[in-house]
Structures are given as structure tokens and as C-alpha cells.
Amino acid sequence: MQHITMSPSICLATLLLALVSPSLASASINNNNGGAVAAASVPTATQFLQAHNDARRDVGVAPLTWNPSLEQDAKRYAGALGIRCRLETLEDIPKFYPQNTYWGSGYQDGAAVTGWWVYGRRWYDRRANSCAPGKECESYKMVVRNTTRELGCARRTCRSSPDTVAVCSYFPAGDYDEPPY
Ligand SMILES: *[C@@H]1O[C@H](CO)[C@@H](O)[C@H](O)[C@H]1NC(C)=O
């Protein structure tokens, strides 16, 4: 492990990720000037894919495969979100696939983005198939949905800040009233 310095917020994020998944945490350590350190040699697509499949394996759900058409879809959407750098519904960009979307402060790589979605696992009550009151776990449910077979994702640094937006597009769409696994 390289010696790196981390800001308290990054440090906390890493600690939280470590509680979720040790393998995620080791792939998601970022330095303060926007570069991924530990994950620098891991392609973004691989980071997204592995982090999804780690979370799926944890609950006994089959892995996803990468689909470049879905990646193009995600790139288009992430690029558009990066203009105003906030999560919003973009009426002028058609949404062909179910998505997970993300906004994060500073540089966040594919593993960190997915780790944030997977963090919602703690709010998911499988028996009731619902999220804890006032908590968000729909992104987690999308990550582990057992009828999904393919994904494609993209992260973008915002146009006028160092912050990150990201999108994953999934195929096929599922029945979202059903439990994900
Ligand atoms: C997905 O999970 C649901 C809920 O547990 C289950 O009823 C269904 O058979 C599973 N489908 C697949 C394809 O594994």
C-alpha cells in the first residue's frame, strides 16, 4: 500500500466503504488533487463492473457483463449532467434504460461511485422489500437486481468544478415491485 495523505472527508468515505466491503475500499482510495492512486491502473469500466459484481456475489446473484452500447448511453447522460453538475432529469436526453446516477464532491472513480450506491445496502430491508424510513436504497437494489444481465457506466468530471457525476445504465429493465433477489 502506498503512503498517501487523505483529507478527513475522503478518509471518512474510505472508512465507510471499508465497512461495506474491504475489496471496494482498496480500489477506491483517492488523493486530494483528483487522481486515483490505488486504482490508477484499473480501467474505469473494470472498476464499475467489479464493484457491481462484488456486491452481487455477496448476496448470491449472478454477475453482470459490460455492454458498450449501455456505456455510450451512460456517457451521453453523464456528459449532460456534468454541464450543470447536479442530479436532474434531463428532458432533452432520452432515457432508454434504467439508470443509477451519482454526484460526488471532487474526483471519484468507478469503484467509489458504485461503493456509494452499495452503501445503501444498510438501509435495505429484504423481508419488507423496502428502504428504512427516510433512507435511500433504490440504487443498491438496482446494483443487485437478479434479472439484470448487462451494464455500461461512465463517470465525468464536471465542466466547471472538480466534482464527479456518474451514470450506469442497465439491461434489461426489471419489475421494480419485485424484490431484487
Ligand atoms: C430473483 O429474486 C426473486 C426474489 O427472491 C425470485 O423470486 C426470482 O426467482 C429470482 N430470479 C432469478 C432470475 O434469479
Measured in Å, residue 181 CA sits from the centre of ligand 1 at 5
The residue nearest atom 2 of ligand 1, judged by CA position, is 181
Tell me: pLDDT of 1 over 90.
Answer: no
Pocket of ligand 1 (CB under 6 A): 146-147, 179, 181
> Ligand 1: which of 146, 147, 149 to mutate, most ligand atoms within 8 Å of CB?
146
What percentage of residues in the chain have a pLDDT greater than 90? Answer: 73
- Rounded average pLDDT over 5-31: 39
Answer positive or negative: Cα dihedral of 68, 74, 77, 82. negative
180, HSE (Cβ side, Cα atoms, 13 Å): 24
The predicted model scores a pTM of 0.79
Name the band, by pLDDT with cuts 50, 70 and 90, for residue 37. Answer: low
- Rounded average pLDDT over 35-57: 85
Tell me: pLDDT of 152 over 70.
Answer: yes
The residue nearest atom 4 of ligand 1, judged by CA position, is 181
pLDDT at 95: 84
CB atoms near residue 162 (< 10 Å): 12
The residue nearest atom 11 of ligand 1, judged by CA position, is 146
Grid coordinates representing 34? 483528483
Measured in Å, residue 147 CA sits from the centre of ligand 1 at 7
Q: Cβ(107)–Cβ(157) under 8 Å? A: yes
pLDDT at 5: 39
Name the band, by pLDDT with cuts 50, 70 and 90, for residue 119. Answer: very high
Tell me: pLDDT of 38 over 80.
Answer: no
Is 166 strand, coil or helix? strand
Exposed (0-12), middle (13-18) or buried (19+): which is 96, by Cβ within 10 Å? middle
